[in-house]
Amino acid sequence: MKNYYSTANINFAEIEKEAAKLLQELFPLCRSLSGDGVRKTYDVLKNVTDFNLTEIPSGKKVFSWTIPPEWNIKDAFIADKEKIKIVDFKNSNLHVINYSIPIDTMITGKELKPHLFTLPELPEAIPYRTTYYKRDWGFCLCYKDYQKINDSEIYRVKIDSALTKGSMTMGDYIVRGTSKKEFLITAYSCHPSMANDCISGVIIWILLLKILKNCALKNSYRFVIGPETIGAIAYIHEHHRALKHVSGGFVTTTAGGTGKVGYKKSFNDTSEVDRATREALVKLNGEILSYPFSLQGSDERQYSAPGLRIPTVTITKDKYYEYKEYHTSLDNLDFVTSSQLMETFSVYVRVIQYLEQNVTYKSRTPYCEPHLGSLGLYPTTGGAINPTNDKSDTGTITTDDIKAMTWILFYGDGKHDLLNIAQLTGIPFESIYLNYRRLEKHSLLQETR
């Protein structure tokens, strides 16, 4: 018999240890849209908790897109005439443009430079670049190494990669609840060694899956992991009928930086996931840092498409584009720590608590307030009230409880849910939920969906 989901049952210290271990294990792997780096990533995640894997063959059409060839890489370098390696893939897998074609040639510095990417404004950083849909090759390097390249000198350039007819790996798992309501929790697994974008999101994803699998739940949660964009498109291609019924979603990414926890709104900021997220941020942080919905982002673009329209938010700590280390080698394990990641994780688990407890209901006494006193839900002596010692079978009734109960009854027209009432009244969700349960226990309310 599983326990009902409650943040009170989560061992945060144990989870943080697991997150720290995962950061170390996942960071070095050379991930991409496909290939063995992604498979190794999934092997590490499956040690935390199991999920389903699907291999989608290269060349398969998914809507107007095509699954790309599988990419794997063994080694790459740029060496000078003394055979000294100026750039070595073994030092950082960001050095090679992801999806570079194989090459082994001698070339002048002048011919090489159009294939080099560097960041003069961040001279210590190696940028992250990809060439998924154009057959090309290139290297990324620190500006100080770039400056060592002479136009007239000859260099050996080698990329020992392979683009083959293989497959792209996707993972998923549905944790079933008792109601028909379903939420999507999705992460992307295609970025090589960067800690905030995307490993932090992958870690949140697997830790949430582990927790939810071990709980009795009201809602169902559909977990999806794969490469960004093409992975979401491929998943939607196979599952769009089921996805039409999903009430809201989360893209877990950029969750462990040094900045403040905030959230990127969905296209509809009155959606249940938006409201639950704002309520959790107020509860845990006392403020709401929010970013507007935009199409410059991640897989919320696909899941928000006209045929699905799943309101999808991202709870983030240093959102993509907002930190200088973004898409560089400085997005590393100095920048992201397990304790920072846990701040975002705490918001996610609180949001899920609210989604589990949120209810739309109707009052069974719609023509006037019920007589709460006769049910032990109101102080029996009239006048100035401070009924903190007034016990009933549902616990001590306080002035705040009475306020919450009267608002819950007031909004009992079937058009409001508990999150909505918390936000309309400013009463914390926990108090709204507790008092909803009190009234429901006395058959004063009826859940409508």
Residue recorded with tokens 């997005």: 331
Q: Smaller CB distance to Zn ion: residue 226 or 370?
A: 226
Residue recorded with tokens 């790459």: 76
Least distance CB 427 / Zn ion (angstroms): 39
Contacting Zn ion within 223-262 (CB under 5 A)? none
Query: Candidates 59-67, 196-204, 330-338, 394-402 — which segment interacts with Zn ion by CB under 5 A?
Result: 196-204
Quote the distance between the C-alpha of residue 440 and its chain's center: 34
Q: Smaller CB distance to Zn ion: residue 131 or 360?
A: 131
Least distance CB 199 / Zn ion (angstroms): 11
Q: Smaller CB distance to Zn ion: residue 253 or 363?
A: 253
397: CB partners within 8 A, 6+ apart: 376, 377, 378, 379, 387, 390, 391
Please state, as a whole number, how many other Cβ atoms lie within 10 Å of the Cβ of residue 150.
Answer: 13
The answer to the question of residue 300 lying near Zn ion (CB under 5 A) is: no
Least distance CB 32 / Zn ion (angstroms): 12
Query: Candidates 67-75, 142-150, 190-198, 343-351 — which segment interacts with Zn ion by CB under 5 A?
Result: 190-198
Q: Smaller CB distance to Zn ion: residue 197 or 390?
A: 197
Query: Candidates 162-170, 191-199, 306-314, 353-361 — which segment interacts with Zn ion by CB under 5 A?
Result: 191-199
Least distance CB 289 / Zn ion (angstroms): 20
Q: Smaller CB distance to Zn ion: residue 68 or 192?
A: 192
Least distance CB 213 / Zn ion (angstroms): 28
Q: Smaller CB distance to Zn ion: residue 298 or 394?
A: 298
Query: Candidates 88-96, 197-205, 241-249, 428-436 — which segment interacts with Zn ion by CB under 5 A?
Result: 197-205
Least distance CB 197 / Zn ion (angstroms): 4
Query: What's the one-letter identity of residue 297?
Result: G
- CA-based angle 312:313:314, to the nearest 5? 135
Interaxial angle between packed helices 418-425 and 429-441, expressed in degrees from 0 to 180 and rounded to the nearest 10: 130
Number of residues interacting with Zn ion: please give it, by CB under 5 A: 1
Q: Smaller CB distance to Zn ion: residue 197 or 325?
A: 197
Interaxial angle between packed helices 272-285 and 418-425, expressed in degrees from 0 to 180 and rounded to the nearest 10: 50
CA 377 – CA 404 distance, rounded (Å): 12
Q: Check residue 393 and report its DSSP letter.
A: T
E strand or H helix that includes residue 414: strand 413-417
Query: Candidates 129-137, 195-203, 273-281, 306-314 — which segment interacts with Zn ion by CB under 5 A?
Result: 195-203
CA 263 – CA 278 distance, rounded (Å): 8
Least distance CB 298 / Zn ion (angstroms): 8
Q: Smaller CB distance to Zn ion: residue 197 or 272?
A: 197
68 closest CA partner among 224, 209, 234, 221 = 234
Least distance CB 254 / Zn ion (angstroms): 8
Residue recorded with tokens 């589990």: 356
CB hemisphere CA count around 259 (13 angstroms):
21
The answer to the question of residue 197 lying near Zn ion (CB under 5 A) is: yes
Query: Candidates 189-197, 213-221, 380-388, 411-419 — which segment interacts with Zn ion by CB under 5 A?
Result: 189-197
CA distances from 49 to 24, 203, 309 (A): 18, 12, 30
The answer to the question of residue 279 lying near Zn ion (CB under 5 A) is: no
Q: Smaller CB distance to Zn ion: residue 192 or 370?
A: 192
Question: For residue 269, which phi and psi values (nearest 5 degrees)?
Answer: -80, 5
**Beta strand ranges found along 46-193 (DSSP E):** 52-57, 61-62, 65-66, 70-79, 85-88, 103-108, 116-117, 139-140, 154-164, 167-175, 182-188
CA 97 – CA 127 distance, rounded (Å): 9
User: Is the separation of the CB atoms in 326 and 197 below 8 Å?
Assistant: yes
Least distance CB 35 / Zn ion (angstroms): 17
Query: Candidates 194-202, 211-219, 353-361, 374-382 — which segment interacts with Zn ion by CB under 5 A?
Result: 194-202
Residue recorded with tokens 């080099």: 116
Q: Smaller CB distance to Zn ion: residue 194 or 445?
A: 194
Binding mask 98-137 for Zn ion (x = CB under 5 A): ----------------------------------------
Q: Smaller CB distance to Zn ion: residue 36 or 197?
A: 197
Least distance CB 194 / Zn ion (angstroms): 7
Least distance CB 235 / Zn ion (angstroms): 18
Q: Which residue is nearest to Zn ion (CB)?
A: 197
Question: For residue 45, which phi and psi values (nearest 5 degrees)?
Answer: -65, -35
Residues at the site binding Zn ion, with contacts judged by CB under 5 A: 197
